[in-house]
Amino acid sequence: MFRRRSAALTVAATRRLAVGPVTLEIADGSVVGHRYRGNFDAWHVDPELPLVVVADGMGDGEGSRLAATVATETLVELIRARWPVIGPRELRAAVAESQIRVRRAGAALDELTGCTLTALLVEPDGEHCWIVQLGDSRAYRLRDGVLELVTVDHTTAWLGVLHGWWPANSPEAARARYQLLRYVGHPDRPEADLLAVPVRPGDTWLLCTDGVSDQLDYHRLRDLLVGQDPAEAVQALLNATLTEGGADNATAVALRVRSAC
pLDDT in tens, 87-130: 999 999 999 999 999 999 999 899 999 999 999 999 999 999 99
Assess whether pLDDT exceeds 50 at residue 4.
no
pLDDT at position 8 is: 67
% of the chain surpassing 70 pLDDT = 97
* Domain CATH for 201: 3.60.40.10
Q: Taking residues 44-73, report their average pLDDT.
A: 97
Mean pLDDT (the chain) is 94
Global pTM reads 0.95
Confidence of residue 3 (pLDDT cuts 50, 70, 90): low
- Mean pLDDT, to the nearest integer, of 65-77? 98
For the stretch 27-38, pLDDT in tens is 999 999 999 989
Q: What is the pLDDT of residue 260?
A: 83
Domain carrying residue 181: 2-259
Instruction: Supply the pLDDT for residue 221.
Output: 98
Q: Is the dihedral of CA 1, 74, 18, 226 positive or negative?
A: negative
At 34 the pLDDT is 93
CA distance 248 to 238: 11
Across the range 146-173, mean pLDDT stands at 94
pLDDT at position 7 is 47
* Residue 125 Cα distances to 20, 37, 77, 122, angstroms: 5, 42, 21, 8
Residue 10 is predicted with a pLDDT of 79
Q: Is the pLDDT assigned to residue 1 strictly greater than 90? A: no
Longest Cα separation, the chain? 54
- Say how many domains are in the chain: 1
pLDDT digits 0-9 by tens, 224-255:
999 889 999 999 999 999 999 999 999 999 99
pLDDT at 12: 87
Q: What is the pLDDT of residue 114?
A: 98
